[in-house]
Chains A and B, each alone.
Chain A
Amino acid sequence: MTMTYREAVRQALREALANDPRVFLMGEDVGRYGGTYAVSKGFIEEFGPERIRDAPLSELAFVGAGIGAALGGMRPIVEVMTVNFSLLALDQIVNTAALFRHMSGGQFSVPVVIRMATGAGRQLAAQHSHSLENWYAHVPGITVLAPATIDDARGMLRPALADPDPVVIFEHALLYNFEGELSDAWGSVDIRSAKILRPGRDVTLIAYGGTVWKALDAAKELAAEGIEAEVLDLRVLRPLDDATVMGSVRRTRRAVVVDEGWRTGSLAAEVMARIVEQAFYDLDAPPVRVCSEEVPMPYAKHLEDAALPQVPKIVAAVRQLLGKT
């Protein structure tokens, strides 16, 4: 069945709301407006304002309220408009949600799911366009997900809600209109493993979220030159699935990490560090990364395009890695 990423997220939310009375959706504009990205359009009529709750413009307050509700036995899904704004709620997520199990000696857990949009490409300028997934992937105590495929958009919410600890889900803003096939396997997706989306022999392109499709497009272009690129979707940014990454890199012996975050201190840096730590002697070339340029995301279209990882940059990186330039 073909559907948009938005529709897949929507179906996942509706299923959760329908199947578990403890689940409710809370966030800015999720109710009357139907969601900033129109994910929850019509939900307020279907499930009522008790369960589809418009929150005031205070991320600290409503994320904190969600954590409190989770402690109280509910299964809240809190939506933050973009990861840039989530910094206002960072104290609640990092200092409270992530730590509660530890600091209560295991007495309390926080089964909250926090969804947020991330990424650039829609000319929303610097304050709405950054990729800060690595900030969250740094923190022990939470699980960080980056659904990039229709299956993951549809399937990841269920295991996220079932997880007794906080789960942060990043939805790349560019993906909502993306259309793809929902496979029969969506019901069994996990939130622990990375996945190889395209097998290849010569190099592993490691991507997540918004860069997965760019990596796949790059692989297609490289295939025309006789270079078989494997595309690995990280899917889960914390904990990282080292086994799948190393398994792939040990086979292809070359890695290009594609990450929309800024290069310095990026998630790509972490992935590369692990590759070098664990698979150094299997490498046939130094790992390479394609990241965003280290500038605030520009508003102007051509500058925004230039600042982001793009297919030609990925292709060029692979060629360089294979000594073909």
Chain B
Amino acid sequence: MIEFKLPSLGAEMDEGTLLEWKVKPGDHVKRGDVVAVIDTSKSAIDVEIWEEGEIYELVHEPNETLPVGTVLALLLQPGETPAHAEEEKRRKAAETAAAALASAPASAPTPASAPTPAPSPSPMPAATTEAAASRRRISPAARARAQELEVDLAVVTGTGPQGAITLEDVAKAAAAAAQPRDRAVEMRRAIAAAMARSKREIPHYYLATDIPLVGAGRWLAARNAGRSVTERVLMAVPLLKAVALALKKYPELNGYFRDGALQPGSGIHLGVAISLRQGGLIAPAIHDVDAMRLDDLMHALTDLVARARALSLKSSEMSDATVTVTNLGDQGVDLVHGVIYPPQVALVGFGKVALRPWVEDGQITVAPVVTASLSADHRASDGHRGALFLSEVAALLQEPEKLDTGAG
């Protein structure tokens, strides 16, 4: 049996609301299929599944808010029968019950046997069956009130005797739920959490270099000439592609820092920082940018920005970025000192492309120049390698025609 669990769609996400199921029991799913829509603090995300199987049971209903890791659905593996699944469910329930009993406080009363001299009032009988133990303790009044207030008891924490959910617990949960979900506030909170974690945990180092874009600009203009507006490629695209190719040479800047060690990314998935119209930002990934042709990359970028602003992204886009690229040139700044999005280990920033005096072959000329910056995690890489990386980006941009390579 396969357990489909609520994935973490970002460092700051610890719970999500199930908005919609895209599948039903009996459906056959394969790797990459969208099975559910989950609302995170940032947006509604189409969540994909990474295993093949047949949907056996949808464990949770839409509109439930659940912690990351919650089992959302059970799937039968190829060749498995419902009988297998039921047996496994019983086994899991028993394990959970055993764990719950083991973690019960040592002072929990046991069923009364002989008269005890201890000054304990009538002991509440401990659960004696697996079924009773696995069932949550909810007072009758709390249960009734929860129904009345439409509070989901699955997400209420009990504070009563033996962890039972009491009226007060339900009332508190209802009060919390009654506060309207303000996406702007939640996004601010999510960004605050991720950025505070970044600055708390990650020893950043910062490098920057000016990159002339004379050749690249000219090449791009020639390439765009005669194309319709929608078919033109913007300068942002060669910049992204150059970053992706450079990262291939410097893999210590592409991946995650986890459990005290660098975990290189499984591909080069550039998280593109996109500011949202209602405020806040989001950095969904474009996958395998190093292998994309520029037209495809342009198309992917346009699509991603549109969907990000429409709050319609896929789970893999939300969780897979191995590095982030931010471009604040449109806002007129020259230089970005970026804050790394944990657990990533680097962030590449670009300022505006501006005409500046530029010395070339001993001559002062006027050239379009962009300042590229690197914020990198010193635990995963050193400044020397970071500098080489930026130089590589600069070098790649001097031969723009070579950037337009890749699989279709």
Interchain CA distance A306-B117 in the complex, whole Å:
7
A325 contacts which chain B residues (CB < 8 A)? 107
B residues near A (Cβ < 8 Å) are 107, 115-117, 119-122, 124, 139-144, 159-161, 164, 166-168
A53 within 8 A of B: no
Shortest distance from the beta carbon of B372 to any chain A beta carbon, whole Å:
59
Shortest distance from the beta carbon of A300 to any chain B beta carbon, whole Å:
13
A263-B122, A316-B120, A323-B161 given. 14 additional CB < 8 A pairs? A282-B141, A284-B166, A284-B168, A285-B139, A286-B161, A288-B124, A289-B122, A290-B122, A293-B115, A313-B119, A316-B121, A322-B160, A322-B161, A323-B159
* Docked-complex contact A283 and B159, CB < 8 angstroms: no
* Docked-complex contact A253 and B141, CB < 8 angstroms: yes
Interface of A is mostly: mixed
* Docked-complex contact A295 and B115, CB < 8 angstroms: yes
* Docked-complex contact A293 and B140, CB < 8 angstroms: no
Render A276-301 as a binary contact track against B, CB cut-off 8 A, 1 for contact.
Answer: 00001111111011110111000000
A247 within 8 A of B: no
* Docked-complex contact B161 and A317, CB < 8 angstroms: no
A256 within 8 A of B: yes
Interchain CA distance A142-B92 in the complex, whole Å:
56
Top-10 shortest CB links A-B: A317-B121, A284-B139, A294-B115, A284-B141, A323-B160, A289-B122, A284-B167, A290-B121, A281-B140, A293-B115
A180 within 8 A of B: no
* Docked-complex contact B122 and A288, CB < 8 angstroms: yes
Shortest distance from the beta carbon of B113 to any chain A beta carbon, whole Å:
11
A-side interface size class: 20 to 34
B160 contacts which chain A residues (CB < 8 A)? 284-285, 322-323
A residues near B (Cβ < 8 Å) are 253, 256, 263, 280-286, 288-291, 293-295, 306, 310, 312-314, 316-317, 320-323, 325
Which chain A residue lies CB-closest to B107? A325
Interchain CA distance A295-B115 in the complex, whole Å:
8
* Docked-complex contact B167 and A253, CB < 8 angstroms: yes
CB within 8 Å for A282 and B140 given contacts A288-B124, A321-B161, A323-B164 = yes
B168 contacts which chain A residues (CB < 8 A)? 284
* Docked-complex contact A285 and B161, CB < 8 angstroms: yes
Interchain CA distance A288-B140 in the complex, whole Å:
15
**B141: contacting residue among A256, A283, A293, A294, CB under 8 A:** A283
B140 contacts which chain A residues (CB < 8 A)? 280-284
6 contacts between A and B (CB under 8 A): A282-B140, A285-B139, A285-B161, A290-B121, A295-B115, A323-B159
Interchain CA distance A295-B160 in the complex, whole Å:
32
Which chain A residue lies CB-closest to B117? A306
Interchain CA distance A125-B143 in the complex, whole Å:
47
B161 contacts which chain A residues (CB < 8 A)? 285-286, 320-323
A314 contacts which chain B residues (CB < 8 A)? 121
Shortest distance from the beta carbon of B244 to any chain A beta carbon, whole Å:
56
* Docked-complex contact B121 and A313, CB < 8 angstroms: yes
CB within 8 Å for A323 and B166 given contacts A253-B141, A284-B139, A284-B160 = yes
